[in-house]
Structure 1
Amino acid sequence: INGECSEARALPAMDAVVKVFCVHTEPNFSLPWQRKRQYSSSSSGFIIKGRRVLTNAHSVEHYTQVKLKKRGSDTKYLASVLAIGTECDVALLTVEDNEFWEGVSPVDFGELPALQDAVTVVGYPIGGDTISVTSGVVSRIEILSYVHGSTELLGLQIDAAINSGNSGGPAFNDKGNCVGIAFQSLKHEDAENIGYVIPTPVIIHFIQDYERNGAYTGFPILGVEWQKMENPDLRLSSGMKVDQKGVRIRKIDPTAPEFKVLKASDIILSFDGVDIANDGTVPFRHGERIGFSYLVSQKYTGDSAAIKVLRDSAILKFDIKLSTNRRLIPAHNKGRPPSYYIIGGFVFTAVSVPYLRSEYGKDYEYEAPVKLLDKLLHEFPQSPDEQIVVVSQVLVADINIGYEDIVNTQVGF
């Protein structure tokens, strides 16, 4: 009887899972005044409160048209995109047609699961039109690298396979509540059946950010580059006492609010009253530890945070207003076409991660010029509107004879 009850509880949630059909038109970075040939994709999504649907950002990236189909229905409903969160890989959709919302119970969110908790991923993976259910357990909870967003946020690793098309589908706990969104899998010859799920704290942050601001503003970050303080000699030379722990600031983003109060070589001892260990971790539930960037990502753009630092053996306290920092080479163009300028047949364009991916392929981190990669990984912008500009190609004409071979050359000022 208990089995039947849990089955009955989970069924309404299954009906809230929809198939997402999207037509994409990507920008053409080689010919920035054009777009590429459009293509179609299918993925998963699910209905939440407020007549809204959640899916992955990469499922509707560069969208031209989005349609949704409910389970057991033969009708595709036109959807509009309310917000796309590139960093957290979550997108929010809605449908005007009232018929779409009839007879559907929205999904309720559950708490962040514990290790070994059972999870069920529901979606529409490639290879069929009907709904698919895969089960597994939570095998790891940590700060993950989000491939689509080029960011690091809290994530769940599960041992259920997440295939193409499953993206955007909900992961349910055994009570039928949603504990996350399936979004990427590990493709490695030594690993099988490893999937990743965006957990509820990240999803709720995205939704509340949209509700507060009427748009997605992003996850704040501390605009500093830091290093661990596990070396005892380094701690001694920095004037740290035996009982003091923290991380050392190497560089600060000149465009970030922190630049006005923090200095290079400061030791960050705590963030918002939570002590930071020498390896950059903070306590997390059940005796676990997690990177302190988790505390920063829980905040919203414009929030204040109390930071305690050690400078010249003195403890200083600052209140810092957090913001979403702009990178020198942005990870995304946020749906906008690439900016370009043509003069004398020279095509100038601004460098971004999508541009590098377009020019050098998926392995751009190995194939792109070292100078550009160094700027991507380690350099901060010196002003809010600074860009790295390259001559992407030369359109051959009489005026530029002899310059035809200049490709992807950075312009110096």
Structure 2
Amino acid sequence: MGSGFVIPGRKIITNAHVVADHTFVLVRKHGSPTKYRAEVQAVGHECDLALLLVESQDFWEGMNFLELGDIPFLQQAVAVVGYPQGGDNISVTKGVVSRVEPTQYVHGATQLMAIQIDAAINPGNSAFQNLSGAENIGYIIPVPVIKHFLDGVEESGKYAGFCSLGLVCQPTENVQLRNHFKMLPEMTGVLVSKINPLSDAYKILKKDDIILTFDGVPIANDGTVPFRNRERITFDYLVSMKKPNETAVVKVLRDGKECEFSITLQPLQPLVPVHQFDKLPSYYIFAGLVFVPLTQPYLHEYGEDWYNTSPRRLCERALRELPKKAGEQLVVLSQVLMDDINAGYERLAELQVKKVNGVEIENLKHLCQIVETCSNESVRFDLDDERVIVLNYHLAKIASSKILKRHRIPSAKSNDLIDEQNSLEVGLAC
């Protein structure tokens, strides 16, 4: 349960975490016992927002929509309205704005602008998250983020995402660092450390470039830009508010010379997905070896302290490695369903699969294709840590069906791999 509000066009905005993995959504008006069926038009898990449609005319009778305002100023009073802890009566708590800055959105694990308030926030409130371990600190989603979400849905009919330059940047607050990169005393900016190969910036910018301005706005040595009255905010905010395929003009200092470049911005997916809402997990089972793509939710299965308890190499790659090409996945041998065919390989679980029969793996679908089209007597898997698995292909195929039956697993592969294989076969038949 959660609360939402009505906007023009007979639509309701609520949080993505309220409808995540939904099968059936019902809404009701404050003070009414009647529930109405709602359809989820769009979900933005990164910004924790969802848009609902309600067909019933009865629901909309006497309903007024909410007008979106501006970002409240520091110390401005705010009222938080909702149904905390799932109560049936509306609750209103009051507080003041204490901070406006980019914050990690817990639901989608994305850095976007948020407003910190000191009102008590509990599950079910219309504010979207609270700070565990701290009393009376909560966060609300600011109007620019809501408008960006709505504009994207209006233009494309679905959630469009938030743009990124695809850069990892370092502050240039150290004087010797600035001197080394030939920055004049009046110059300010940030140093480019890494560039995502899937971004437009990868073809234009270089490592060791200094980004001086973004769309004419000067970037300070600590990576911030001016925001309202004597406030500052990281320049990522300017990037995230751009629409997909929009361009930005970036002024760069390269080898002591100033250059200007036009860069097209896009939402960029990380190599290892940070969430897996509204979809079933992907898997492929061969001879009891269970292969899955690495995701952060997979690592979260190691418990609240997953950062320290999950396999160190997988964790580091999940948080730091960049994709080299579109569709790339890190494939992991997640577990071994024991059988004579795979005896002695059980300790190799949780290692990344690097190659199959000498071919580097691009993603789970690629691994599945190589295994299923194998014409050799044996199939070889090269894993992380230089470990090797070799199986007799004919015996492994026979063992696979027995293992699935023993564990009551209806299919050796997830639906997404079956659907892709079917579409591939239809294409070949045509």
TM range (shorter): 0.7 to 0.9
In structure 2, the residue matched to 1:62 is: 21
* Greater shift in the superposed pair: 227-236 or 396-405: 396-405
In structure 2, the residue matched to 1:367 is: 309
- 1:226 deviation in Å? 0.8
Structure 2: gaps spanning 5 or more residues: 356-430
The code of the aligned residue for 1:186 comes to L
Residue 184 in structure 1 maps to residue 129 in structure 2: yes
Whether contact under 8 Å (1:57, 1:90) holds in the other structure is yes
Whether contact under 8 Å (1:267, 1:311) holds in the other structure is yes
**Higher-strand-fraction structure:** 1
In structure 2, the residue matched to 1:276 is: 219
The code of the aligned residue for 2:24 comes to Q
In structure 2, the residue matched to 1:212 is: 155
**1:316-327 superposed matches below 5 A:** 316-327=259-270
- 1:339 deviation in Å? 1.3
Residue 408 in structure 1 maps to residue 353 in structure 2: no
In structure 1, the residue matched to 2:55 is: 96
**1:271-350 superposed matches below 5 A:** 271-350=214-293
**1:7-46 superposed matches below 5 A:** 42-46=1-5
**1:61-210 superposed matches below 5 A:** 61-126=20-85, 128-166=87-125, 169=126, 182-188=127-133, 191-210=134-153
2-structure distance, mates of 1:390, 1:136: 47
> Which structure exhibits the higher relative contact order, with contacts defined as CA atoms closer than 8 Å and separated by 6 or more residues?
1
- 1:315 deviation in Å? 0.6
TM-score (norm 2): 0.81
In structure 2, the residue matched to 1:395 is: 337
- 1:127 deviation in Å? 5.6
The match for 2:10 among 36, 46, 51 is: 51
- 1:145 deviation in Å? 1.1
Whether contact under 8 Å (1:326, 1:384) holds in the other structure is no
User: What secondary structure, in the 3-state scheme, does the structure 1 residue paired with 2:354 have?
Assistant: coil
The code of the aligned residue for 1:249 comes to V
In structure 2, the residue matched to 1:12 is: none
- 1:44 deviation in Å? 1.1
- 1:337 deviation in Å? 1.3
- 1:394 deviation in Å? 1.2
The code of the aligned residue for 1:212 comes to E
Whether contact under 8 Å (1:255, 1:383) holds in the other structure is yes
2-structure distance, mates of 1:230, 1:360: 38
- 1:335 deviation in Å? 1.9
In structure 2, the residue matched to 1:355 is: 298
In structure 2, the residue matched to 1:33 is: none
- 1:366 deviation in Å? 2.4
In structure 2, the residue matched to 1:34 is: none
- 1:72 deviation in Å? 1.0
* 1:44-75: CA deviation from partner (whole Å, max 9, x where unpaired): 11111111111111111111111111111111
Residue 385 in structure 1 maps to residue 310 in structure 2: no
- 1:404 deviation in Å? 2.7
Cα distance, 1:256–1:334 mapped onto 2, change above 3 Å: farther
User: What secondary structure, in the 3-state scheme, does the structure 2 residue paired with 1:278 have?
Assistant: coil
Percent identity, aligned pairs only, is 53
TM-score (norm 1): 0.84
**Residues matched between the structures, number:** 355
- 1:298 deviation in Å? 1.1
Residue 223 in structure 1 maps to residue 166 in structure 2: yes
Whether contact under 8 Å (2:86, 2:123) holds in the other structure is no
User: What secondary structure, in the 3-state scheme, does the structure 2 residue paired with 1:289 have?
Assistant: strand
Could you say what the CA RMSD is over the residues aligned between the two structures, in angstroms?
1.1
User: What secondary structure, in the 3-state scheme, does the structure 1 residue paired with 2:232 have?
Assistant: strand
Structure 1: gaps spanning 5 or more residues: 1-41, 170-181
User: What secondary structure, in the 3-state scheme, does the structure 1 residue paired with 2:155 have?
Assistant: helix
The code of the aligned residue for 2:307 comes to E
In structure 1, the residue matched to 2:400 is: none
The code of the aligned residue for 2:131 comes to L
Whether contact under 8 Å (2:214, 2:249) holds in the other structure is yes
Whether contact under 8 Å (2:299, 2:315) holds in the other structure is no
2-structure distance, mates of 1:383, 1:128: 48
- 1:274 deviation in Å? 0.3
1-structure distance, mates of 2:310, 2:215: 39
